Amino acid sequence: MNTRLLGKDLEVSAVGLGCMGFSHAYGAPTESKEAMRAIQAAFEMGYRFFDTAEIYGSAEDPHENEVLVGKALKPYRNHVKIASKFGIGFDKTDGRINHALIPNSTPSVIRASVEGSLRRLQTDHIDLYFQHRIDPNTPPEVVAEVMAELIKKGDITHWGISEANEEYIRRADAVCKVTAIENRYSMMARGYESLFPVLEELAIGFVAFSPMANGFLSGKYNHNSVFDQKFDYRSVMPQFSAEAQQQNQELLTMLKEMAEEKHATQAQISLAWMICKKPYLVPIPGTRKIERMLENLRAAEITLTQQEVQNLDDALEKMKMSEVFGGSKVLRKV
């Protein structure tokens, strides 16, 4: 099992498992026992880092994913690191499949959230507690003060920020040491590379969500792929449109060629590219399929030289691509 450090001392598997898709955004929720078996199979094959959030659920059970992760990992709790998140709700009146997000990181909300997450996860602490989105109405210093309080109390051991920017990171870190950010990052979404210098300066890790552009970079989809328009966000993601399939052929061909050269899959190359780029980068691809979990985990065994990574970067800089899903709309007012 390959591991790496987030921040100064949080050791996790080099590839984590994003658990959201079992309950939210990628089709109807997986049957509970089947999902538990899959998460436990992930542990058996070597995963030691599992990511969830209080809002990953369905209309019937809004917190389903934390409950699921807690039950599945309870026998292994002392051997895994669990990340969860606080600070957003959904605008369920907007008529979207991917509802707009309503940020709220007031201290009272945070304290109530951590209590609920600890209960649902059946644990006495959360290893990495992320602010799920920046709340424009609550200063980072206020959030960081609550995080320091929760660390002192023992409810959490480390904290981080999702979809963070440099100013927010610096202000928060000055009050309570930030262990990691969790931002969208893939070959199709490289904007947050501008944060690498500040992460290195402050010794902060980078947890990369949607590392395969919501599965698109696996090369498993084509213009005939159909997604559930009630439960699956991919049904509205631009990279999965028929037009985008044509626009992204150069990218997919590059991945295929590198995969053949390395005796790997396209998905593995898309993950190895970021793993080999920086020692503090940890992708958390999500999947419901056990064979895909093993495939993704083995991406950490693939070695790309710094020159190979640079060659891929250079090609990506020049490459024309379609738009890629950038996340649900975030409302600016609570």
Which tens digits make up the pLDDT trace of 98-149? 999 999 999 999 999 999 999 999 999 999 999 999 999 999 999 999 999 9
Model confidence, pTM: 0.97
Q: What is the CA 292 to chain-centroid distance, rounded? A: 16
Asked whether residue 334 carries a pLDDT value surpassing 50, the answer given is no
Q: How confident is the model at residue 91 (pLDDT cuts 50, 70, 90)?
A: very high
pLDDT digits (tens, 9 = 90+) for 220-254: 998 889 999 899 999 999 999 999 999 999 999 99
Alpha-carbon distance 295 to 123, whole Å? Answer: 29
The answer to whether residue 56 is catalytic is yes
Cβ pair 304, 272 in contact under 8 A = yes
**pLDDT, average across residues 171-179:** 98
Residue 122 tokens read as 């059946």
Catalytic residue from among 56, 129, 185, 192: 56
Residue % of the chain over a pLDDT of 90: 95
Q: How confident is the model at residue 59 (pLDDT cuts 50, 70, 90)?
A: confident
Cβ pair 162, 130 in contact under 8 A = yes
Residue % of the chain over a pLDDT of 70: 99
pLDDT the model gives residue 157? 98
Which of helix, strand or coil describes residue 267? helix
Asked whether residue 333 carries a pLDDT value surpassing 60, the answer given is no
Alpha-carbon distance 259 to 267, whole Å? Answer: 9
DSSP 179: -
**44: Cβ contacts below 8 Å, ≥ 6 apart:** none
pLDDT the model gives residue 13? 98
* Mean pLDDT of all residues belonging to the chain: 96
The dihedral through the CA atoms of 222, 223, 229, 235 has a sign that is positive
* Strand stretches in 127-190, DSSP E: 128-131, 159-162, 180-184
Q: For Cα atoms 255, 45, 188, give the angle at the middle one, nearest 5 degrees.
A: 25
Q: Which of 330, 324, 161, 199 has its CA nearest to residue 251?
A: 324
DSSP secondary structure of 201-244: HHT-EEEEESTTTTTGGGT---TT----TTTBGGGG-GGGSHHH
Q: What is the CA 182 to chain-centroid distance, rounded? A: 6
Q: Which of 96, 78, 23 has its CA nearest to residue 53?
A: 23
- Count other C-beta atoms under 10 Å from residue 5's C-beta: 16
What are the backbone dihedrals phi and psi of residue 286, each rounded to the nearest 5 degrees, phi first? -110, 145
